[in-house]
Amino acid sequence: MRPGVLRLFGRAASALPCVLLLLGPVAARSEPAIEDSTWVDHDREPIRRPPDWEPNYWGQQVRQGFSEPLSHLFDVPDKLLWAARQFGIHTRDQAANANAFDEAPNSAWFTNRNHRNSVPVSELRRGPYPTSLPTKPWTITHAKQSGFTSGFQIKDADGKKWLVKLDPRGYPQLGSGADMVARTLLHASGYNVPHNEPVRFVRGDVAIDPDRLRGAEGEQFTNANLESVLVRGAVFPDGSYSASASLFLVGHALGSPSMNRKRPGDTNDWYTPVNRRALRGLFVLCSWINDWDTKDHQFLDMFVETRDSLGHVEHYILDAGSSFGAGAEGPKPRSAGYEYTVDLKWIARRFVTLGFVEEPWRRARQETGIPSVGNYESAVYEPQDFRQLMQQPAFREMTDRDGYWGAKIVASFSARQIAAAVDAAQYDDPRASEFLVRNLIIRRDKIAKYWFARVAPLDFFYVQDGTLHFRDLAVDVGLESARAYDVKVDGDRRIRLSGARFPLAAPRKGASTRTLAISVAGNGAKPATVDLTWKDSSWVVTRVKHG
């Protein structure tokens, strides 16, 4: 062999340990263990930054507005599976990442909060983040690149970057208030949300970056452009503009996720979003706050660097401004929240009835007459009939267990907490706060009533002193008075309980597990199933399944 080649091999061999050291975190990583009883799904393993990618907005609009509904209309397997479900056969795919206790473990998508450990009222009133407003004066650095609300990107006096979105003309605090309340509730529920604050500013607080005035890098934003933006913005009686300021998230924006696929290059992303408990159950929360514009592009994936250019992806619900009665250009369209943009069922109903069918949104008295609230109501609202603008794939896959989980989160909010979340928006009009609190409570109770009638709301099982304890959420929240329960032990014996506790006898020889199916006596809701295992001379709850 030639000396030169030998030297090359030698150099490569000596470099190999260094290469392995650099690749250490990746090359040496072994597959994580699978433990279905974990409360933390460890999806923050340091990885290299995935490539930027997001589904095309307009392509997704066509797909979820037309292609998917038409495809499902003619989907023969779907019809066969539906027919099988009528005979009691379980065909729906349950959420892939629910743990053994039928909960969504903490992850980069979701953190268990209010329904496990009530968020203090003072925290709700403040909002998800410590109050920090963009310090003035502001410098406009870019026009707002997309979306229907008018606004611009700024750098505040402290150098922080914010996106400012104006409330629509004539409706101060409509969008900014809705966004604040929605985000506060979503964060308390467990979702990651950006730091948004309702803000007020006057024309004199804003200047345009000289580069933008000049048109540097092919992008120009002039005073005329600014005037055309401001003229569409809402103005308070004192002449200041009403807007929402959103602090740029920490990290590198990878783009919006697609509900139908895992993020390319993200090796931590094990579960397709449509199969995630937190995203399926989000339907219930969206119906509560009437977030009628939920789509892939309302989410944002951020790569957060932790060390040595490695990091992980955090998933945010970016935009909740189209909630309650708010729309981009004023109060939301009356049909929003009740019908898809192309709702084949309602089109067919209207067609067949020659237009004489009355849609729920026509019956509903949505016009509140409160400019900062818009079109919102709860009298006609039915939790199961909530519809966004576009069909959300994750919502279509929702099962009763997912819906119950979402309803449990909604029901966990007390009236004081709801009032505190509404207070975070700092509405000038006292009618707005009172109206929103009242209707959020009504919707909360409707949601709880509906889902707790489908799945027995028996939860939070634990064993103490040889007795299985649980909570009846419907009784706790005041929807039901104290009631009896039926327990089926190991599919065999049936026992009637007068309270939410079941004494457990020591196991027979050779039997170390027990399965209890607990239902509400005289109630058709699906039972809760609890698996118990005998460990260290006592029973331990090892698995819970709702419905």
Partner 1 sequence: MPLADYEGRGVPLQRHLTQSRGDSIETARPFVTIEARRAGFRARLALFALLACGIAGASAAPDARADIPFGESTWVAPETSFGSDVAPDGPRVATPDRERAWEIALRTPFRVVFFPLRLLARGVEAGAAYVGPRYLEPKPKKPPKRGLSLEPSVIIAGPSDFGIGPAVTWSGFPTADSKLLLAASTSLSDRRRVRFLESIGTRRPVGLRLGVQYDYRPDRVYYGIGNSTRLSDRAYYRLETTNADAMLLLGASPLRQLRLIAGYSAMSPRRGYNAAPLLEEAFPASSVPFQHQTTQELWYGVGGDLAVLDDDRDPSRGLHGRADLRRATGMKPGDPDYTQWRVEGRAYVPVFASRRVIAVRGIYEGIEPSGSETTDLPYYRLPKSGGTETFAGYANDRFRDRRLALARAEYRWAILKRMSAVVMYELGEVAPNAASFRLREAHTSYGGGIRLGTADDSSVRFELAKSVEGMRIALTLGSDF
23, burial (CB in 10 Å: exposed 0-12, middle 13-18, buried 19+): exposed
- Quick one: 471 or 483, whose CB is closer to partner 1? 471
Q: Where are the alpha helices (DSSP H) in 222-372?
A: 223-230, 277-280, 282-289, 344-352, 360-363
Q: DSSP letter string over 287-298?
A: HHHT-TT--GGG
Contact range with partner 1 by CB under 8 A, out of 108-116, 210-218, 238-246, 398-406: 108-116
Site string for partner 1, 224-243 (x = CB under 8 A): -x--xx--------------
**Least gap, CB of 381 to partner 1 (angstroms):** 14
Helical residues (DSSP H) of 455-539, grouped into ranges:
473-476
Stretch that binds partner 1, among 194-202, 249-257, 434-442, 525-533 (CB under 8 A): 434-442
Q: Please, what is the minimum distance in Å from the beta carbon of residue 117 to partner 1?
A: 5
223 scored as a contact of partner 1 (CB under 8 A): no
For residue 47, the minimal CB distance to partner 1 (Å) is: 10
**What separation in angstroms does the CA of 339 have from each of 161, 335, 336, 354, 386?**
37, 6, 6, 18, 8
User: How many positions of this chain bind partner 1 (CB under 8 A)?
Assistant: 100
Q: How far is the CB of 103 from partner 1 (least distance, A)?
A: 8
Other beta carbons less than 10 A from residue 464's beta carbon:
9
* Residue placing its CB nearer to partner 1 in the complex, 160 or 220: 220
CB of 461 to partner 1, least distance (A): 8
Which amino acid is it at 362? R
Is residue 106 a contact residue for partner 1 (CB under 8 A)?
A: yes
Work out which of 23, 135, 148, 506 binds partner 1, going by CB under 8 A.
148
Compute the least distance from the CB of residue 303 to partner 1, in Å: 14
User: Which of the ranges 367-375, 390-398, 428-436, 512-520 carries the binding residues for partner 1, by CB under 8 A?
Assistant: 428-436
Nearest CA to 168 out of 193, 189, 150 is that of: 150
| DSSP helix/strand/coil, 450 | helix
Binding to partner 1, residues 474-493 (CB under 8 A)? 475-478
Q: 418: how many CB neighbours lie within 10 A of its CB?
A: 24
- CB-wise, 115 or 454, nearer to partner 1? 115
> With CB under 8 A as the contact rule, which of the stretches 32-40, 195-203, 296-304, 524-532 interacts with partner 1?
32-40
- 415 touches partner 1 (CB under 8 A): yes
Q: How far is the CB of 269 from partner 1 (least distance, A)?
A: 9
Q: Please list every residue from 512 through 541 that binds partner 1, using CB under 8 A.
A: 541
Closest approach, Cβ 508 to partner 1, in A, equals 26
Per the DSSP assignment, residues forming a β-bridge with 191 are 110
Triad 79, 85, 88: Cα angle to 5°: 160
Among 163, 317, 473, 504, binds partner 1 (CB under 8 A): 473
Nearest distance from C-beta of residue 41 to partner 1, angstroms = 4
- Identify the three-state secondary structure at position 451: helix
DSSP 3-state of 383? helix
Closest CA to 540 of 461, 481, 487: 461
Q: Provide the mask over 305-334, with x wherever binding to partner 1 is found by CB under 8 A and - wherever it is not.
A: -x-----x----------------------
Angle formed by the axes of helices 174-189 and 415-423, to 10°? 140
- Does 412 bind partner 1 (CB under 8 A)? Our answer is yes
Please identify which residue in 48, 61, 129, 523 interacts with partner 1, judged by CB under 8 A: 61
Q: At what angle do helices 282-289 and 400-411 cross, to 10 degrees?
A: 50
Interaction of residue 123 with partner 1, rule CB under 8 A: no
What span, in angstroms and rounded, lies between the C-alpha atoms of 513 and 295? 44
Contact yes or no for 398/407 (Cβ under 8 A): no
Which lies closer to partner 1 via its Cβ, residue 98 or residue 455?
98
Up-side HSE of residue 48: CA atoms within 13 Å toward CB? 8
Among 433, 451, 528, 532, binds partner 1 (CB under 8 A): 433
Nearest-approach distance from CB 355 to partner 1, in angstroms: 3
Q: Which is nearer to partner 1, 74 or 87 (CB)?
A: 74
161 binding partner 1? (CB under 8 A):
no
User: Would you say 160 or 396 has its CB closer to partner 1?
Assistant: 396
Minimum Å distance from CB 420 to partner 1?
6
Binding flag, residue 350, partner 1 (CB under 8 A):
yes
Nearer to partner 1, 171 or 346 (CB): 346
Q: Which stretch binds partner 1 (CB under 8 A): 91-99, 175-183, 241-249, 366-374?
A: 91-99
How many C-beta atoms surround the C-beta of residue 475 within 10 A?
A: 17
Residues from 363 through 402 that contact partner 1 (CB under 8 A): none
Q: For partner 1, which residue of 49, 54, 69, 98 counts as binding (CB under 8 A)?
A: 98
Q: How far apart are CA 520 and CA 526, in angstroms?
A: 9
Among 42, 126, 160, 200, binds partner 1 (CB under 8 A): 42
**Residue window 266-305: x/- pattern of binding to partner 1, with contact defined by CB under 8 A:** ----xxx--x------------------------------
Closest C-alpha among 173, 427, 439 to residue 287: 439
516 close to 530: Cβ distance less than 8 angstroms: yes
**Cβ count near 423 (within 10 Å):** 19
Asked if residue 138 lies in contact with residue 155, where contact means CB atoms within 8 angstroms, the answer is yes
Is residue 365 within 8 A of residue 379, CB to CB? The reply is yes
Residue 495 within binding range of partner 1, rule CB under 8 A:
no
